[in-house]
Amino acid sequence: MTEVVLYIVGFIISLCLALALTPFVIKFAYKVGAIDKPNHRKVHTRIMPRLGGLGIYAAFIGAYFAVKPFIPDGLLRSYDTNLINALLAGGSIIVVIGALDDRFELSAKVKLLGQIIAACVVVLGFGVKIDLLNIPFGEAMQPIASWISIPLTILWIVGVTNAINLIDGLDGLAAGVSGIAIGTIMVMAAIMGFAPVVLLSALLLGGIIGFLVYNFHPAKIFMGDTGSLFLGFGLATLSMLGFKQVTIVSFVTPLLIIGVPLSDTFFAIVRRWVNKKPIFAPDKGHLHHCLRELGYSHRKTVLIIYAIASFFGICAILQSTIVQSTAANWITFAVIVILVFVLQIGAELIGIVDKTRRPVLNFLQRILMRTEQSRSK
């Protein structure tokens, strides 16, 4: 079986498994009491089953073992096998933690401990860590000492895992954004010839799309922490290809891949700090909440965020393909500056940090007023 056929077959198997298994997960969630009740913070108005992530996880695992016997000899190196085993082992731990939370609502500390354990399994158990980093305006890939690379990798995995969890606020939002990010990783890995990441991304993407049939508005099931934590963990692990093994990718690339959840998490931290609230305190100030307040429907809000996530994904692919040029460092720097400026303007327009504080917009407005005054004279 050729590589391309393997990827396509794996994707289709995962898609079909998700479509077939999710209805059983819905029944199972109701049976065990893993349900989400509406409250003042939530958009839905009726009791919904959670645990939807089990469908994605089962589809991913089932598809992998279905295609494993057909993986051509020599396609996977020892590092590649470690990456796959790390994702399977760590992902399984994350799914257990998420499923327990969906049923029993674990405390934030217990969930964080579970995420750290899963990250440690990846780093210490399988040796998958960030040990090479391409720093803008530096020379090629720079090695990182173990005492830095180990905590840095754990922080990356835990941070991205929670970022996906935080944006899971509307039907199909976290699944769709994760799917776009996984698709971006798959395209980049295909361009770079990184076979294991293409395979894993194809399997995960198939499960996500199959699940979205039941999760897009109006949803029949929520993915719950089982799904959001698993997808965040998978994204964190796979996006490390931007740091590891591939010398043509800047450290900016993985940040662009998951730009939507990371920026939403960043603004949430700033918002809570500005308003003198605990960093982990829940609120209704996330991107999807702000767009809903502007009058967009549930479906349109999700599609707008899909578009933003796709924009980030395209930027990541373009940035990684041109980073080999002589002006690569300056292009990377320009991309960062432009995106930060656009994010700040967007955040002020929709009021994601504060409805009244608009420093950059006010500054631009003053410049325009002075320009007009000088012209009138």
Residue 332: predicted pLDDT: 65
Summarised one tens digit per residue, pLDDT across range 157-175 is: 998 898 888 888 889 999 9
Residue 248: predicted pLDDT: 39
Cis peptide before 278 (omega within 30 of 0): no
Q: What are residue 49's DSSP bridge partners?
A: 35
Task: Locate 214 and state its tokens.
Answer: 């039941």
Residue 278's contacts (CB-CB under 8 Å, 6 or more residues apart) are 272
**Residue for token pair 């005492």:** 147
Residue 245: predicted pLDDT: 44
Task: Locate 251 and state its tokens.
Answer: 């450290």
Task: Locate 254 and state its tokens.
Answer: 């993985």
Task: Locate 156 and state its tokens.
Answer: 């990356």
Below-70 pLDDT ranges, the chain = 1, 39-45, 77-79, 131-145, 241-252, 279-282, 322-333, 335, 376-377
> Residue 3 is which amino acid?
E
Residue 323: predicted pLDDT: 56
Distances 155 to 150, 198, 338 between C-alpha atoms, Å:
9, 24, 26
Residue 243: predicted pLDDT: 47
